[in-house]
Amino acid sequence: MRCYSKSGRSILGILGCSLTFCSLPLLAKEGMKVPATLKQSEKEMIAAGLDIPVEKLYNARGTGLNNAVVLFGKGCTGEMISGEGLLLTNHHCGYGTVQGLASTQSDYFANGFWAMNREQELPCPGLTVSYIRSMEDVTERVLGGIPDEMRDSQRDSILAVRIKNLENGFRYTTKKDAQVKAFANGNRYWVIISETYRDVRLVGFPPNGVGQFGGDTDNWSWPRHTGDFSVFRVYADSSNKPAAYSPANKPYRNSEFFTINANGYQEGDFTLVYGFPGVTQEYISSMQLEQVINFIDPIRIEARTKRLDVWTKYMSADRSVFLKYTSKRAGVANGWKKWQGELKGLKGNNVVTKKKQAEQEFQAWANTDTQAPYAKDLLFRMQSNSVAHDADVAVNEYIREAVLGIELISQAAELDKIRNIHYASLPTQVKTDSIAKLLRSAEGFYKNYDAATDRAVFVALMPLFMEKAGAYVPAYYRSELARFGNSYDKWAAYVFANTAAGSAEKLKAASSNPGSITDDPAWKLYSAIMQLRNEKIVPQLARYNDSLTRYNRLYMKAQILQRKYEDLYPDANSTLRVAYGKVKGLDPDGPAGYSFQTNLDEAVLKHNPEVAEFNMPAALIELQRQKDYGRWAVRGTVPIAFIADNHTSGGNSGSPVLNGKGELIGTNFDRVWEGTMSDYYFDEKWCRNITLDIRYTLFIIEKLGKAGWLLNEMRFAPVKN
């Protein structure tokens, strides 16, 4: 499922985005390969089952399939399935966009949406689609002449100038977007040339009874019966170039798109996943991994369990609340369940112990090597640094997940901005325009906000923070709780009744009377926690992060010296990657032992109209009863999903899954629970990616959506008898 994390230096968002390489055993198919380096892996890929030259997968001439894989929005992947801009991605990737288009009158989550012609396709404001035209290794131009142990402040200044100049130069020469990105923890750099299209329209979206069938219960699990797809179309101007939305725009004419193969697959067949995996941390040190296991994941799970319980209760009772919270809930629940499986896998596979064994091997090498004298005490420094900041890491998670998980307190940041704008030394017109822009932006938040629901979240989450944060609880919080007789209900009732952060109208009124903000109870809660965080936690974590950035860069450099760089695939960083493996069921000796494929007959058996996440559309049940499958029938049913042992991560949602000929056989949408540890540790025995069979996608489009006109513009591989 989704994972919208971005790699970066800040430890305040996701701890551990600074990655290190340990000497763990590597499998040929493990890891996500940079497409521009596939030539060096061609022999092993052909041996595994690839039946086309790697130049067809990627080239800078415009004829590679890299031009058929897109970054969908900010954190998913999509694939082009026609030469007229038709795009396929996951249902959950399109969910937030569709929420902005839906209403109680046009409930696309309950009923789905299917355009019957191009005139009916719906514009999606703010949605973008980006194509990667080429990638070039610019490591020497970025790092040339810079000593490994140069001070970070000096090093960063030099790098910033070089990167900016490189990006400007590539933009000038290519007339396209250019971004230089760090790989291998800042020891390698690539420039990525891309084009971003801004006119994207909704074409098809199955109802939740298909696209989210199984809901949280089945999320991150196998077997799966979820039709997790949606269809969009990319539009361009008269020159086929990116342009803002206009009725005059035409479907984007893309020369490269995927041929669809509806002949199926067998267990053991070659598969390849092409997409934009977000963040993996395969080589994180044992010390950082212990923080994930002992603090980060458990705290997030505990807090989100409480929040999700409240949201589910209120969403079930009121359809309008459901529509407001369904996308938000999906995002919060996605991480919540993934982290549970992640912890189970990391502990059950003794990954910390394996990391420590690998670190012992590294230390033995560092003690005798003369190329990297800085490596001898790296692990010691990293361990001391991590242990010293355990408490800071833990309380930061409690603030993020418990306090700021209460939407009203987070939204009070807007009151703080209004106050700061008012008292800033700015021209009056600038202040007026800034506040007006802020109020317009806030309208989007309130469109999907329910105060009664959030008040119940306050009552559920605030006790968790008060009980677990210890000395980091602001004095104001303790005094307020005491003032209301230690009753969280009474405290919440007062805050929600007396704040200007609870509605767009009240926020606007407060903007006209900024002097009242300092008396606002939600602002006081926000201000108190942010003051404590900024004074006691942020500086500590900033120092921790800065030191880890340096240590991890040097650690990675040492690993490159110890082993060939080509053997150490770079961790995912939201750039285009290729992973390959084979169709493979779970190990029969494992806890599940299921087949590698599921089908519609199985899904109908799970139908339960009393449980929203298992409530299948009546029309789909009737199609199954009548066996009305058309050309998509396989052994008397329709295949839905299959699993393979490709190495995937968040961001691979919506990725095309290809056979050995580079033909589309499905759309990646999840991983199995037993293998969600793969962001930290890949084990082919447990790690599986879950793919929606392209035949189920086409069956739903044609038979349930009655949008068979879309199939006329697709290209199909010859049918096998």
**What are the angstrom distances between the C-alpha of 292 and each of 4, 297, 301, 392, 561?**
18, 6, 12, 13, 28
| Active-site entry in 92, 225, 607, 647 | 92
How far is Cα of residue 424 from the mean position of the Cα atoms in its chain? 37
Of 669, 526, 635, nearest to 225 (Cα)?
Answer: 669
For 429, residues 6+ apart whose C-beta sits below 8 A from its C-beta are none
Of 24, 503, 99, 165, nearest to 323 (Cα)?
Answer: 99
Exposed e or buried b for every residue in 138-151, given b needs 16+ CB within 10 A? beebbbeeeeeeee
Q: Which two tokens stand for residue 373?
A: 């004298």
HEC assignment per residue over 670-707: EECHHHHHHHCCCCCCCCCEEEEEHHHHHHHHHHHCCC
For residues 283 and 571, the answer to whether their CB atoms sit within 8 Å is yes
| Neighbouring-strand partners of residue 666 | 657, 693
| Active-site entry in 41, 653, 655, 678 | 653
Q: How far apart are CA 687 and CA 431, in angstroms?
A: 53
- What is the distance in angstroms between the CA of the first residue and the CA of the last residue of the chain? 35
The H or E element containing residue 52 is none
Q: Is 647 a catalytic residue?
A: no
Q: Is 228 a catalytic residue?
A: yes
How far is Cα of residue 544 from the mean position of the Cα atoms in its chain? 25
Q: How far apart are CA 33 and CA 42, in angstroms?
A: 11
Report CA dihedral (706, 711, 716, 719) to the nearest 10 degrees: 30
Q: Is 653 a catalytic residue?
A: yes
| Active-site entry in 177, 199, 218, 228 | 228
For residues 537 and 396, the answer to whether their CB atoms sit within 8 Å is yes
* Sequence letter at residue 63: T
Tokens 């996440």, residue located: 613
For 712, residues 6+ apart whose C-beta sits below 8 A from its C-beta are none
Q: Tell me the helices (H) and strands (E) count for the chain, helix number first.
A: 25, 18
| Neighbouring-strand partners of residue 179 | 192
Q: How far apart are CA 691 and CA 597, in angstroms?
A: 10
For residues 114 and 691, the answer to whether their CB atoms sit within 8 Å is no
DSSP, collapsed to helix, strand or coil, labels residue 51 as coil
Q: How far apart are CA 505 and CA 503, in angstroms?
A: 5
Positions marked catalytic = 92, 228, 653
